[in-house]
Amino acid sequence: MPLFEYRALDASGRMLVGTMEGGSRAEIFEQLDRSGCTPISTKETAGKAAPSRTWREWLTPEPRPEDITAFTVDLAMLLKGRVVLDEALQIVTQMETRRWLVRLLRELHGELSAGKSFSQALAAHPRLFPPIYVKTVEVAEMSGRLEEALSGLAEERQRAERLRKRFVSAISYPLFLVVAAVGVLLFVLLYLIPQFESALQGFRDKIDPSALVVFQISAFLIAHIDTLLIGFVIMLGAGLLVKRLGRGGDLWLRVLSRLPLTKTILHYELTLTFARTLAILVRNGVDISTSLRLIRGVVRQPGAAEEIDGVIADVRQGQRLSQTLAKRKLLPGHVVQMIRVGEESGDLADSAGRVAVFYEAKLDAALGRLIAVVGPATMVLVSLIIAWLIMSVMTALISINDLLV
């Protein structure tokens, strides 16, 4: 039986870390719940008994998040049309043409036919179906609201994907400028500058040193071009491997969380993620403690997980969610007030949903401002670098001309 490492909070709010044997992550969560603890996270240890993936499986592309969203939309539409879940999975499988996605759908159908619940079948694919997705489906299955839950999940995933595309578009233009600038610089340094080398022979000691810097940089790049290319290929391969393994990113988040322009954007994203996830889970009948634990697994901003740990501990001790949030700097004060109003009116999901809509608009506006600032700033920087190159070359050539005259 696989061995799992777990992190949980006891009744007093103290963090517990240990190992436990179980058949799955869901079983570990149930054991911790029965022992009076609030599970935070679990993962299989290095010595787990689960079968390793073959090299073919590593090279086989997995369904993208957009594919899972499309699958969720199709399944919800079929269930809304009074098609039973088993037949709905078969229909979606027949409609799909991508082999890797067909394989996933067949596995889900096979596990469902073997007697597992739909949430258990989804839980066997944690890379594709996050805990929030699985828990929402699990609660919806018990309440008989699977179609509504899938529709809500699909809608929220589509909103998140639109924001993700907006963010990608916000950074694509500056990145394009940077890549273009690097290409131009390499062309100038590796091809054009060496053309002037012969003109400098015998005059290097008489030319202003600041004008010779560009020629020294060019000589260095030419002498070490092989090493630089190998290093670039290694870095690219390491980056792709890290992305494939689903790791990394914490360092970049820590850097971005300290920059003036991106710090506000990350704070908006944290508030949006917290409110939207809370609205989805509470609306589908998930209790507050479990919702907070699932939210903890979603947020990525530095320090946010530790803050949520404290919130979970306070809620487990009987405090209201708004009360414990007011003591921390996790969310803005007006957001906490909205959550308090939702608790008092008995419609926490609606209040959290309104907060999510409001911060989605703020985040979109902040991304627009980022594009407006970073794009021109990058263009100015690229122009200055190219101007420096041209001026350095021209200064060196004018110096040679003056000496000859």
Q: What is the DSSP string of 88-113?
A: HHHHHHHH---HHHHHHHHHHHHHHH
Task: Return the pLDDT at 49.
Answer: 42
Average pLDDT, the chain: 79
Given a cut of 70, whether residue 98 has pLDDT beyond it is: yes
Could you tell me which residue, 372 or 244, shows the higher pLDDT?
372
Q: Regarding the domain delimited by 173-405, which CATH topology (the fold level of the hierarchy) does it fall under?
A: Receptor-associated Protein (1.20.81)
For the chain, which residues make up each domain, given as ranges?
3-44, 63-129, 173-405
Task: Return the pLDDT at 212.
Answer: 72
Task: Return the pLDDT at 96.
Answer: 80
Confidence tier at 351 by pLDDT (50, 70, 90): very high
Greatest mean pLDDT range, 12-16, 125-129, 190-194, 209-213: 125-129
Confidence tier at 50 by pLDDT (50, 70, 90): very low
Alpha carbon distance 291, 296 (integer Å): 9
Given a cut of 60, whether residue 48 has pLDDT beyond it is: no
pLDDT in tens, 130-156: 888 888 888 888 888 888 888 888 888
Task: Return the pLDDT at 163.
Answer: 78
Alpha carbon distance 292, 132 (integer Å): 10
For residue 348, give the 3-state DSSP assignment.
helix
**DSSP per position, 38-80:** EEEEEEE-TT--SPPPPHHHHHSPPPPHHHHHHHHHHHHHHHH
pLDDT in tens, 308-335: 888 888 888 888 999 999 988 888 999 9
| Exposed/middle/buried for residue 230 (C-beta within 10 Å: 0-12, 13-18, 19+) | exposed
Q: Burial letters for 102-136: b for 16+ Cβ neighbours within 10 Å, e otherwise?
A: bebbeebbebbeeeeebbbbbbebeebbbbbbbbb
pLDDT in tens, 221-267: 888 888 888 988 888 877 666 655 544 455 566 766 677 777 888 88
Task: Return the pLDDT at 401.
Answer: 64
Task: Return the pLDDT at 108.
Answer: 87
Task: Return the pLDDT at 304.
Answer: 84
Q: Residue 102 is which amino acid?
A: V
Alpha carbon distance 46, 207 (integer Å): 62
Q: Quick one: average pLDDT of 279-302?
A: 84
Beta strand segments in 192-279, E: none
Alpha carbon distance 18, 325 (integer Å): 28
Q: Has this prediction a pTM greater than 0.95?
A: no
Which ranges in 284-347 belong to alpha helices (H)? 288-298, 304-316, 321-326, 333-345
Q: What is the percentage of the chain residues whose pLDDT exceeds 70?
A: 80
Task: Return the pLDDT at 207.
Answer: 65
20 bridge partner residues: 4
For residue 84, give the 3-state DSSP assignment.
coil
